[in-house]
Amino acid sequence: MTSSMTPIDPADLGGADALSKLRALESEAIHVMREVASELERPALLFSGGKDSIVLLRLAEKAFRPGRFPFPLVHVDTGHNFDEVLEYRDRRAAELGERLIVAKVQDTIDAGRVVDGYDPAKQGTSRNQQQTQTLLDAIEEHEFDACFGGARRDEERARAKERIMSFRDDFGGWDPKNQRPELWNLYNGRLRQGENVRVFPISNWTELDVWQYIAEEELELPSIYFAHEREVVRRNGMLYAVSPYLQPQDGETVETLSVRYRTVGDLTITGAVESTATTLDQVVTEIAATRITERGETRADDRASEAAMEDRKAQGYF
Amino acid sequence: MSELAPTPTVASDDPLLRADLLRVATAGSVDDGKSTLIGRLLYDSKQVLADQLEQVEQASVRRHGEGAVDLSLLTDGLRAEREQGITIDVAYRYFTTGDRSFILADTPGHVQYTRNMVTGASTADLVIVLVDARQGVIEQTRRHTFIASLLGIRHVTFAVNKMDLVDWDEGVFRAIEAETTRISSQLGIPDIHVIPISALQGQNVVDRGELPAWYPEDDDHPTLLRHLQTVQVSTDRNLTDLRFPVQWVIRPGEGGDTAGGRWDAEDLHDYRGYAGQVAGGVLRPGEEVQVLPSGVRSRIARIETLDGDLDVATAPMSVTVHLEDDVDVSRGDVIVGADEDPAGITLREIEADVCWMSDRALKPGARYLLKHTTTTTAAKVDAVIDRVDLHTLEREDAQGLELNDIGRVRIRVKRPLVGDTYLRDRATGAFILIEEGTNDTVAGGMIR
């Protein structure tokens, strides 16, 4: 096994050898997406209009253009959305010319398959739990065998132990003690009967990596990621947007503050942060200096208990 | 505030955009203070955020009563692990200091978790082996060093922990240094460092702290983090043997999600791009190549990416290659250099070291699927040649391999592999075995 080629001095490669961290992570993610597209029959890409799934869309372009994406985009819609995000979602899908499937939690509720967890009269209620059922219904209806998601291992400690390809049983459940070993870049995409797989191509990215990639790639984001004036109420140390779905309760006062969002989810459980950052540069600077994790600061769903994410994943959550 | 986000203006000389990536695996057990070490690395390098620290402080009080913060709790992942005080699985941690970012694969150390260490080390550039200064080099140290060498790790750092408990005795350190150096040289590990630390006291991990005169403050006596920041790994890749396993053929006129959307491929009818990740060597436009296993010859016409064409591509870049001639190429084919002798890298029978990862034992004659680069083919294990005794590291005769065993096997494949020995190129020398029926990944293998 010898080669007659002359060994190459890395210095002659004009920098091509020194792949920056972001380019290394990008290359890994592209590889994962192409493997899944090759080995699975019917993948889908979960697209919420949030920054992580926006990065996934760019990675899909890098992996498959000028071909069409070998999967549709799927949004699991709780019905409690920021208008700016829905507008962005629809426009982005149209620009890409790719198919968007919207799976609505409201439809699952109307069909009587789940009970609405959201009660406008009760603080802290949301449709967070019901999304799981809607997602599982969509997977079944469209016979998806793989769903790309934008989850990252730095987000939360259960995720720190989840594989890039996370196999789920019929109920979408994740069994952390029974995960397939993932060696080198050799992914085993073969499913058992009734199984499907969640695939997280940006598992190894941090929040800051995502922001820097967005800046580097000049990706457009929904406007709520940048500082804007908004009516909010303070609740359990978090700032919630006042909306038709979230009204001030007794004793709460509505304040108008300059805020931005670090994550974009259901607006009844996603908190804003006070900020004056109106450009990506400024947001990246703020994120680099922050002392609180993304989920700790802005996601009520993860504050419920020490193992909140682990438990929800076992039940089929993203 | 307009609907559209403002145009980004991050300067391209931002050091974080130039940062490179070092993948590190840590081997050791709770008893060696591994969780404390990782907690210390994250904490002292200011990567622990306020809400995480608050969680750990509260948990420390619950666990140990009022007092010092137990940094090992930072890395506790799953509920089952917290309840049992053990590490079950590989956990990944991320931190950045200066010009370098780190992905830390935190793997448990006991012999029953050998497969987890193999998994964590499979993607690592460097392995940290923890040694308890009070115990010196023990069986577990030898095993971890052996597994690192088996996985082709070129950089091993021995972190001699709990030096405070031996009063920073130079003799203790020198003895461990001599023994770990001897073992590494026997195993052929080219680059090793031995560094004394106390993770609990925070000495010589990120900050130097008060250290004795025999470990002076100079470039030859770095802190653990300083060493991780400066170790050179860019020359580890194979830049000699051109290997491009075709992963996905881009044909805009065909396939894709055709049920909707309005993707227009009118002017792309003749487009045919071979997408994949470079596994070795250097690709350049104009280079003469051959496609294996067919042996068809052509030249590289273009190396395409969404960001424009490239003049040169090396591992591990994901690119799309165009050939000058209209040849038949599909997933699983490998593009190699024109000078390459196809017979030398077309493998129908291989000898390999495998780590067995299933509780169903391997027996000679068993059939599996073998995935190697982008090829999956039927494979038969003709013989189990030996098994490594993970206590003595001696190779011994074996009739089969059980969970967490490492051994040498002979495998025959249905479709020939285009591959190299693992030591020559990790990307084209590695494979996994998949059990038909369960579809479980039952082994990781390295071609010898």
Q: What CATH number has the domain bearing residue B174?
A: 3.40.50.300
Q: Are B33 and B111 found together in one domain?
A: yes
The string of pLDDT tens digits covering residues A257-285 is 999 998 887 888 888 999 999 999 898 88
Cβ B432 vs Cβ A183: under 8 Å: yes
Cβ B324 vs Cβ B299: under 8 Å: yes
Q: Are A148 and A37 found together in one domain?
A: yes
Q: Are B350 and B302 found together in one domain?
A: no
Answer whether A183 sits within 8 Å of B331, measured CB to CB: no
Q: Tokens 């690395």 correspond to what residue?
A: B41
Q: Are B109 and B225 found together in one domain?
A: yes
Q: Which of B5, B312, B345 sits opposite A16 (nearest CB)?
A: B312
DSSP A13: G
Paired tokens of A248: 């001030």
Q: Are A33 and A116 found together in one domain?
A: yes
Q: Are A196 and A243 found together in one domain?
A: no
Q: Is the four-CA dihedral A4, A10, A11, A16 of positive or negative sign?
A: positive
Q: Are B148 and B212 found together in one domain?
A: yes
Q: Are B231 and B258 found together in one domain?
A: no
Cβ B285 vs Cβ B300: under 8 Å: yes
The alpha carbon of residue A181 and the mean position of all alpha carbons in its chain are separated, in whole angstroms, by 23
Answer whether B256 sits within 8 Å of A70, measured CB to CB: yes
Cβ A36 vs Cβ A144: under 8 Å: no
Q: Is residue B40 part of a domain?
A: yes
Q: What is the CATH number of the domain that holds B329?
A: 2.40.30.10
Q: Are A160 and A96 found together in one domain?
A: yes
The domain boundary, picked from B313, B340, B367, lies at B340
Q: Are A141 and A36 found together in one domain?
A: yes
| Pairing, β B91-97 against β A255-261 | unpaired
Q: Which residues of A touch B331 (CB under 8 A)?
A: 38
Q: Are B185 and B284 found together in one domain?
A: no
Answer whether A1 sits within 8 Å of B420, measured CB to CB: yes
Q: Which one of A19, A20, A156, A183 would you mutate to disrupt binding with B, by most B Cβ within 10 Å of its Cβ? A: A183
Q: Are B404 and B313 found together in one domain?
A: no
Backbone Cα Rg of chain A: 21
Q: Is residue A8 part of a domain?
A: no
Distance CA B42, CA B32 (A): 17
Q: Is residue B137 part of a domain?
A: yes
Q: Which of A202-216, A221-235, B59-73, B391-405 has the lowest mean pLDDT?
A: B59-73
Q: Is residue A275 part of a domain?
A: yes
Those residues of chain B that have pLDDT short of 50 are 1-17, 260
Distance CA A222, CA A283 (A): 14
* Mean pLDDT calculated for residue range A301-318: 62
Q: Which of B247, B339, B430 sits opposite A38 (nearest CB)?
A: B247
The domain boundary, picked from B287, B314, B340, lies at B340
Produce one character per residue of B417-437: b if its CB has 16 or more CB atoms within 10 Å, e if not: bbbbbbebbbbbbbbbbbbee
Nearest CA-CA distance, residue B93 and chain A, Å: 7
Residue A142: is its pLDDT beyond 60?
yes
Cβ A292 vs Cβ A281: under 8 Å: no
Q: Which of A31-45, A120-134, B78-92, B130-144 has the lowest mean pLDDT?
A: B78-92
The phi-psi region of residue A208 (left if phi > 0; otherwise alpha if psi is between -120 and 50; otherwise beta) is alpha
Triad A25, B330, A45: Cα angle to 5°: 45
Produce one character per residue of A9-29: b if its CB has 16 or more CB atoms within 10 Å, e if not: eeeebeebbebbbbbbbbbbb
Q: Is the four-CA dihedral B240, B313, A181, B434 of positive or negative sign?
A: negative
pTM reported for the whole predicted model: 0.91
Q: Is residue B172 part of a domain?
A: yes
Answer whether B96 sits within 8 Å of A208, measured CB to CB: yes
Distance CA B76, CA B278 (A): 36
H or E segment to which residue A134 belongs: helix A128-141
Half-sphere exposure (Cβ direction) of A220: Cα atoms closer than 13 Å: 15
Nearest CA-CA distance, residue B117 and chain A, Å: 10
Cβ B122 vs Cβ B93: under 8 Å: no
Answer whether A25 sits within 8 Å of B258, measured CB to CB: no
Quote the domain boundaries for residue B128.
Answer: 15-236
Answer whether B51 sits within 8 Å of A293, measured CB to CB: yes
Answer whether B318 sits within 8 Å of A27, measured CB to CB: yes
Produce one character per residue of B155-189: b if its CB has 16 or more CB atoms within 10 Å, e if not: bbbbbbbbbbbbebeeebbeebbebbeebbeebeb
Q: Is residue A27 part of a domain?
A: yes
| Pairing, β B367-372 against β B430-434 | antiparallel
Q: Is residue A7 part of a domain?
A: no
Three-class DSSP labels, A54-123: HHHHHHHHHHHCCCCCCCCEEEEECCCCCHHHHHHHHHHHHHHCCCEEEEEHHHHHHCCCCCCCCCCCCC
Q: How far is CA B169 from CA A32, B133, B173, in A?
A: 49, 9, 7
Q: Is residue B7 part of a domain?
A: no
Q: Are A262 and A123 found together in one domain?
A: no
Quote the domain boundaries for residue A283.
Answer: 219-301
Q: Is residue B107 part of a domain?
A: yes
Nearest CA-CA distance, residue B397 and chain A, Å: 27
Question: Measured between alpha carbons, how far apart are the two ends of chain A, in Å?
Answer: 45
Q: Which of A28-32, A142-146, A231-235, B378-382 has the lowest mean pLDDT?
A: A231-235
Q: Are A35 and A182 found together in one domain?
A: yes
Q: Is residue A44 part of a domain?
A: yes
Triad A18, B152, B36: Cα angle to 5°: 85
Q: Is residue A2 part of a domain?
A: no
What number is the ipTM of this complex? 0.91
Give which of B166, B167, B165, B170 is closest to B194, Cα–Cα. B170
Q: Are A114 and A230 found together in one domain?
A: no
Give the nearest chain A residue to B343 (CA atoms): A1
Q: Which of A13, A61, A97 sits opposite B314 (nearest CB)?
A: A13
Strand partners, B244: B335
Q: What pLDDT was estimated at residue B12?
A: 37
Angle separating helix axes A21-39 and A51-64, nearest 10 degrees:
70
Q: Are B262 and B174 found together in one domain?
A: no
Give which of A298, A252, A235 is closest to B51, Cα–Cα. A298
Q: Which residues of A touch B337 (CB under 8 A)?
A: 3, 5
Split into its structural domains, chain B has a count of 3
Q: Which residues of B touch A97 (CB under 8 A)?
A: 261-264
Distance CA B327, CA B333 (A): 12
Instruction: Decide: residue B352, CB within 10 A, 0-12 exposed, 13-18 middle, 19+ buried.
Output: buried
At residue B203, φ and ψ (nearest 5 deg) are: -100, 125
Answer whether A63 sits within 8 Å of B248, measured CB to CB: yes
Q: Are A181 and A236 found together in one domain?
A: no
Q: B19 CB contacts (<8 Å, ≥6 apart)? A: A20, A21, B96, B98, B99, B100, B101
Q: Are B194 and B103 found together in one domain?
A: yes
Paired tokens of B324: 């000058």
The domain boundary, picked from B321, B340, B359, lies at B340
Q: Is residue A73 part of a domain?
A: yes
Q: Tokens 């996934």 correspond to what residue?
A: A56
Distance CA B301, CA B323 (A): 5
Cβ A130 vs Cβ A109: under 8 Å: yes
Q: What pLDDT was estimated at residue B76?
A: 62
Q: Is residue B10 part of a domain?
A: no
Paired tokens of B337: 């250099």
Q: Are B336 and B348 found together in one domain?
A: no
Answer whether B52 sits within 8 Å of A35, measured CB to CB: no
Residue A5: is its pLDDT beyond 70?
no
Q: Which long-range contacts (CB under 8 A, 24 or more apart) does B215-224 make?
A: B222/B195, B223/B195, B223/B197, B224/B41, B224/B128, B224/B157, B224/B159, B224/B195, B224/B197
Q: Is the four-CA dihedral B132, B138, B142, B147 of positive or negative sign?
A: negative
Give which of B81, B193, B90, B75 is closest to B444, Cα–Cα. B90
Q: Is residue B393 part of a domain?
A: yes
Q: What pLDDT was estimated at residue A236?
A: 81
Cβ A255 vs Cβ A240: under 8 Å: no
Q: Are A91 and A157 found together in one domain?
A: yes
Q: Which of A37, A62, A66 sits opposite B248 (nearest CB)?
A: A37
Please give the torsion angle defined by the CA atoms of residues A47, A48, A50 and A53, in that order, rounded to the nearest 10 degrees. Answer: -20
Split into its structural domains, chain A has a count of 2
Give the nearest chain A residue to B4 (CA atoms): A223
Residue A11: is its pLDDT beyond 70?
no
* Mean pLDDT calculated for residue range A38-54: 95
Q: Are B262 and B151 found together in one domain?
A: no
Q: Are A32 and A161 found together in one domain?
A: yes
Q: Which residues of B touch A21 (CB under 8 A)?
A: 19-21, 101
Answer whether B314 sits within 8 Å of A16, measured CB to CB: yes
- In chain B, the largest separation of any two C-alpha atoms, in whole Å, equals 75
Q: What is the CATH number of the domain that holds A149?
A: 3.40.50.620
Q: Is residue A199 part of a domain?
A: yes
Q: Are A96 and A176 found together in one domain?
A: yes
At residue B293, φ and ψ (nearest 5 deg) are: -85, 0
Residue A7: is its pLDDT beyond 80?
no
* Mean pLDDT calculated for residue range A218-223: 94
Q: Are B229 and B319 found together in one domain?
A: no
Three-class DSSP labels, A208-250: HHHHHHHHHCCCCCCHHHCCEEEEEEEECCEEEECECCECCCC
